[in-house]
C-alpha cells in the first residue's frame, strides 16, 4: 500500500466486523498513514436501502437482500433470522411473510409462492370401495384418491353418487344373524340344562317335576326371545 507523504482528505466508507456498511464521510488522513481499520475509499454501489445491504467482502462491495437481521420463511412457513453473511439458506425460502392459514389449511411455499394447502392430518379417511377400511391422514394435501372424509353410518354402507348409502338387505341379514347367534347361545346356556333335567326326572318316573322344569325352560326361552327380537 502506498502512503501519501502529506495530509489528504479522503471520502471513506466504513463497515463493521461483519463487513456490513455502517456509514460514510470525509476524513483527514495524515501523512504516511493508512486508512482506518474497516474502511475503504471504494464507492458504495447503488442499492435499495430498505431491502438491501452492502458488505465489503474480499476487497469489493457486495449488494445483497440476504442481510444480517433480516427474516425469511422456509417452505413450511416457519420464520428464521439471518445471523451472518454469507449464510447458507434452505433451497426453498421466501422473504415475503406468509398469509394466515385458512381453517383446515396450512400455508406452504410452492414454486416460490405461498399457497393454502389442505390439512387433514389426524383425521380418518374411509375407503369408498369398502367402508370398513380406513386410515389416519399423516401428510398435508388432498386426501388419497378413492377415499373420503365422510364417515359411513353403518358397516353396510356403499359409496353411491358421492355419498354413503346403506345396503339395507345386507344390514338386515347381518342383524338377523346376530340375533340368531345370541338366541342360540342363550338357549344352549339357559334352556338346555332345564330340558336335560326334565328328561332325567321323566326317566325317574317323576312326571310332574319334569313338567314343572319344562315350563321353566319354556318361560326362559320366551324371555330370551322377548329380550332379543328379530330385526
Arithmetic mean of pLDDT, 179-185: 97
Domain match, 177 and 220 both: yes
Residue 1 inside a domain? The answer is no
Residue 133 inside a domain? The answer is yes
Residue 14 inside a domain? The answer is yes
Domain interval for residue 147 = 124-166
Residue 3 inside a domain? The answer is no
Residue 215 inside a domain? The answer is yes
Domain match, 136 and 91 both: no
Arithmetic mean of pLDDT, 65-81: 97
Q: What is the pLDDT of residues 27-69, one digit of tens each?
A: 999 998 989 999 999 999 999 999 999 999 999 999 999 999 9
The three cell numbers of residue 174 are 347381518
Q: How many domains does the chain have?
A: 4
Domain match, 29 and 55 both: yes
Domain match, 31 and 46 both: yes
The predicted structure's pLDDT at residue 2: 67
Residue 138 inside a domain? The answer is yes
Residue 25 inside a domain? The answer is yes
pTM: 0.65
Amino acid at each position: 500500500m502506498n502512503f501519501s507523504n502529506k495530509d489528504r482528505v479522503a471520502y471513506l466508507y466504513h463497515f463493521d466486523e461483519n463487513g456490513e456498511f455502517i456509514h460514510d464521510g470525509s476524513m483527514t488522513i495524515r501523512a504516511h498513514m493508512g486508512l482506518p481499520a474497516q474502511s475503504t475509499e471504494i464507492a458504495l454501489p447503488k442499492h435499495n436501502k430498505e431491502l438491501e445491504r452492502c458488505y465489503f467482502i474480499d476487497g469489493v462491495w457486495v449488494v445483497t437482500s440476504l442481510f444480517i437481521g433480516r427474516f425469511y420463511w422456509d417452505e413450511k412457513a416457519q420464520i428464521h433470522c439471518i445471523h451472518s453473511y454469507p449464510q447458507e439458506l434452505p433451497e426453498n425460502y421466501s422473504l415475503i411473510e406468509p398469509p394466515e392459514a385458512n381453517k383446515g389449511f396450512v400455508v406452504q411455499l410452492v414454486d416460490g409462492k405461498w399457497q393454502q394447502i389442505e390439512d387433514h392430518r389426524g383425521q380418518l379417511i374411509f375407503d369408498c370401495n369398502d367402508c370398513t377400511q380406513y386410515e389416519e391422514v399423516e401428510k398435508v394435501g388432498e386426501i388419497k384418491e378413492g377415499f373420503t372424509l365422510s364417515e359411513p353410518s353403518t358397516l353396510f354402507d356403499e359409496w353411491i353418487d358421492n355419498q354413503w348409502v346403506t345396503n339395507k338387505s345386507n344390514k338386515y341379514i347381518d342383524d338377523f344373524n346376530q340375533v340368531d347367534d345370541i338366541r342360540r347361545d342363550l338357549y344352549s346356556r339357559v334352556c338346555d340344562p332345564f330340558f336335560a333335567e326334565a328328561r332325567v326326572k321323566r326317566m325317574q318316573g317323576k312326571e310332574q317335576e319334569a313338567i314343572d322344569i319344562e315350563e321353566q325352560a319354556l318361560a326362559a326361552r320366551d324371555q330370551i326371545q322377548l329380550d332379543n327380537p328379530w330385526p
